[in-house]
């Protein structure tokens, strides 16, 4: 054969062999752990040709081919998904228009049916299989709409599935129902809607929650009274449209949130959480207490409020979004007021430099005001976005700042620092008054002025405090307790308090 004759030959590539499930692995997955909201790849927009009569009603659109018995639906959010209406019902968000992807989905669906048959599982029309392709591997879960649950063909632990620990089978069922409603939210357009009971029960749940929120400030429901009223208005207007997938989507999302909240509150369990500040989980960690007393004394009890609030917010490491927003909004307002007070104190100290007063006190007061202002600005800058954070963001933040041995003592110290420094700065500033009198008159007039200021502070503390103990007695008692605890820990027998 001559070299020139080679150009006349035509080479044919052998067709690719069909996909085999032996090339991959079948993994369990949860509805909330799918890659639904992940951006797989970006796209480029470009000009195109608009054909004559394009989209005209009399013209049939170009057919798009998929495997038999497969149909496409579009979620109200805009994402397309696919449904097989034969044999074991299958739903997936994999692109069935792609031949390779379709072959993999069909092969894995057949494999799941074979494994289920070998293990004695029987399926009905209310059973659905979810499949998600990752290379040659496949993730799956099965849904039973009759019992509102998800399941798998193999035994797994909750840790392997990515589920939180539970105390009973009924407690685990709450987690599965939350996952089930997440599935309903994602795949809401193909099965003809929900029964009327699904939305009627949801209305009753919000009616009770509204009454609970109106009569209690520590309700365990995840929404406020104002939010409950909005949800009731929405649900009542949707009662006659429960068969529409648009309504099914948000009803499923709401039920998922409620069932997860029921899991956290141990709904229906032996020990359930009836109040938001009620801890029901065992906690073996111990908080160092002597530093807490020291912090309370040094901050004039201002840090105590923050510690108590943070502890109440993060009971059993669970936080309510609306409670966090309320707390952080109050913190931001307090820090802004502290900044304004610090600016006023700086201006007052500037005036002091033109009078015959103690420059040491003026410099000290100005320094305290400056640090208070700087600390307040930094706290506002760092927490401004957290003022509108959702529950999971607040939970992640509190988990990160909570110390193993001191819990929220460090955070409370930082939160109270602007007010503590401003408070001390104002006390130092007002001691300029007896100094001014002393320098311009005599010590005889200065001593009564100092006594009058101290007496006024003690009277104010006595009349406004919840107990009869004065500020001085409180500070002395806390200091003695701290000193005594330190001596006992060091086993110093020569120390007497």
pLDDT score, position 326 = 93
Burial category of 66 from C-beta neighbours within 10 Å (exposed 0-12, middle 13-18, buried 19 and up) = middle
Mean pLDDT to the nearest integer, 314-335: 93
Domain end marker among 247, 280, 313: 280
User: In the predicted model, what is the mean pLDDT of residues 387-403?
Assistant: 92
| Whole-angstrom distance, CA of residue 346 vs CA of residue 340 | 10
The per-residue pLDDT for 481 is 53
Q: Is the pLDDT of residue 492 over 50?
A: no
Which among 12-16, 54-58, 306-310 has the top mean pLDDT?
306-310
- The pLDDT value given to residue 84: 94
Buried/exposed 372-408: b ≥16 CB within 10 Å, e otherwise: bbebbeebbeebeebbebebeebbebbeeebeeebbb
Which pLDDT value is given to residue 472? 45
Q: Does 332 reside within a domain?
A: yes
Q: Are residues 361 and 257 in the same domain?
A: no
| Window from 134-138, 225-229, 251-255 with minimum mean pLDDT | 134-138
For the four alpha carbons of 179, 182, 187 and 190, in that order, the dihedral sign comes to: positive
Q: Note the helical H segments in 192-282.
A: 196-215, 225-237, 245-264
Interhelix angle 245-264/196-215, nearest 10 degrees: 50
For residues 347 and 366, state if they share a domain: yes
> Based on the domain organization, do 319 and 210 belong to the same domain?
no
In a domain? residue 302:
yes
Range of lowest pLDDT (36-40, 234-238, 297-301): 36-40
- On whether both 245 and 351 belong to a single domain, the answer is no
Q: Is 328 helix (H, G, I), strand (E, B) or coil?
A: helix
Q: What is the pLDDT of residue 3?
A: 44
The mean pLDDT value of the chain amounts to 85
CB 21 within 8 A of CB 133: no
Going by C-beta distance under 8 Å and a sequence separation of 6 or more, which residues neighbour residue 97? 64, 65, 66
Looking at the fold, whether 22 and 129 belong to one and the same domain comes out as yes
Model pLDDT, residue 38: 74
Q: Read off the pLDDT of residues 156-172 as tens digits, 9 standing for 90 and up.
A: 999 999 999 999 999 99
pLDDT average, residue stretch 472-490: 46
CA distances from 192 to 188, 364, 380 (A): 8, 74, 50
As a whole number of Å, the end-to-end CA separation of the chain is 113
Is 45 part of a structural domain of the chain?
no
Residue at token pair 């003695």? 480
Task: Give yes or no for residue 470 having a pLDDT over 80.
Answer: no
In a domain, 489, yes or no: no
Residue 153 and residue 180 in one domain: no
Please indicate, yes or no, whether residues 305 and 406 belong to a single structural domain of this protein: yes
**For the chain, what is the domain count?**
3
> Is residue 132 domain-shared with residue 203, that is, in the same domain?
no
Side-chain-side CA neighbours of residue 331 (13 Å): 31
Average pLDDT (124-143) is: 93
pLDDT class of 431 with cuts at 50, 70, 90? confident
> Residue 423: what pLDDT?
92
Higher pLDDT pick, 202 / 454: 202
**pLDDT for res 75:** 94
Does residue 49 fall inside a structural domain?
no
* CA-based nearest residue to 316, from 203, 440, 142, 165: 165
For residues 57-82, give the mean pLDDT.
83
- Residue 311 and residue 322: Cα distance in Å, rounded? 16
Question: What pLDDT is stored for residue 495 in this prediction?
Answer: 32
User: Do 158 and 175 sit in the same domain of this protein?
Assistant: no
Residue 44 lies in a domain: no
| 455 within domain boundaries | no
| Chosen domain end from 262, 280, 298 | 280
pLDDT tens by residue, 80-92? 999 999 889 999 9
Indicate whether 372 and 252 sit together in one domain: no
Same structural domain, 187 and 253: yes
Burial of 312 (0-12, 13-18, 19+ CB in 10 A): middle
Q: What is the pLDDT of residue 488?
A: 45
| More confident site: 490 or 426 | 426
Domain endpoint, select from 280, 305, 334:
280
For residue 270, is it within any domain? yes
The predicted structure's pLDDT at residue 469: 45
- For 175, the domain range is 169-280
Q: Is the same domain home to 335 and 427?
A: yes
């Amino acid at each position: 054969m001559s070299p020139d004759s080679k150009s006349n030959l035509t080479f044919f590539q052998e067709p690719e062999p069909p996909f085999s499930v032996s090339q991959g692995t079948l993994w369990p997955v949860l509805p909330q752990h799918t890659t639904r909201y992940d951006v797989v790849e970006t796209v480029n927009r470009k000009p195109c040709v608009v054909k004559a009569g394009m989209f005209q009603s009399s013209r049939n659109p170009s057919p798009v081919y998929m495997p038999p018995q497969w149909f496409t639906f579009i979620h109200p959010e805009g994402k397309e998904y696919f449904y097989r209406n034969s044999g074991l019902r299958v739903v997936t968000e994999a692109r069935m228009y792609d031949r390779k992807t379709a072959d993999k989905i069909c092969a894995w669906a057949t494999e799941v049916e074979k494994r289920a048959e070998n293990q004695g599982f029987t399926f009905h029309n209310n059973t659905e299989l979810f499949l998600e392709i990752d290379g040659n591997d496949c993730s799956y879960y099965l849904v039973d709409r009759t019992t509102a649950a998800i399941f798998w063909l193999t035994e797994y632990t909750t840790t392997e599935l990515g589920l939180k620990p539970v105390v009973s089978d009924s407690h685990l069922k709450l987690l599965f129902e939350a996952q089930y409603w997440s599935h309903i939210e994602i795949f809401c357009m193909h099965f003809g809607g929900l029964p009327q009971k699904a939305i009627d029960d949801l209305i009753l749940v919000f009616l009770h929650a509204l009454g609970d929120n109106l009569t209690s400030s520590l309700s365990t429901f995840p929404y406020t009274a104002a939010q409950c009223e909005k949800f009731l208005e929405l649900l009542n207007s949707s009662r006659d449209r429960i068969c529409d997938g648009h309504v099914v989507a948000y009803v499923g999302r709401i039920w998922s949130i409620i069932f997860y909240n029921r899991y956290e509150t141990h709904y229906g369990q032996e020990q359930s959480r009836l109040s938001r500040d009620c801890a029901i989980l065992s906690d073996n960690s111990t908080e160092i207490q002597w530093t807490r007393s020291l912090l309370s004394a040094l901050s004039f009890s201002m840090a105590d409020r923050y510690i108590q609030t943070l502890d109440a917010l993060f009971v059993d490491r669970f936080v309510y979004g609306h409670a966090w927003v309320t707390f952080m909004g109050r913190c931001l307002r307090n820090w802004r007021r502290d900044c304004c007070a610090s600016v006023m104190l700086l201006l007052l100290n500037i005036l002091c430099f033109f009078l015959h007063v103690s420059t040491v006190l003026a410099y000290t007061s100005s320094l305290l005001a400056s640090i208070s202002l700087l600390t307040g600005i930094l706290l506002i800058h760092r927490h401004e976005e957290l003022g509108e954070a959702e529950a999971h963001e607040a939970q992640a933040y509190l988990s990160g700042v909570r110390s193993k041995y001191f819990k929220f003592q460090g955070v409370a110290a930082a939160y109270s620092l602007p007010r503590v420094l401003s408070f001390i700065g104002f006390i130092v500033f007002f001691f300029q008054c007896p100094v001014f009198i002393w320098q311009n008159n005599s010590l005889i007039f200065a001593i009564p002025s100092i006594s009058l200021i101290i007496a006024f502070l003690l009277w104010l503390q006595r009349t406004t405090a919840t107990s009869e103990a004065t500020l001085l007695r409180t500070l002395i008692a806390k200091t003695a307790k701290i000193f005594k605890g330190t001596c006992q820990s060091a086993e110093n027998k020569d120390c007497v308090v």
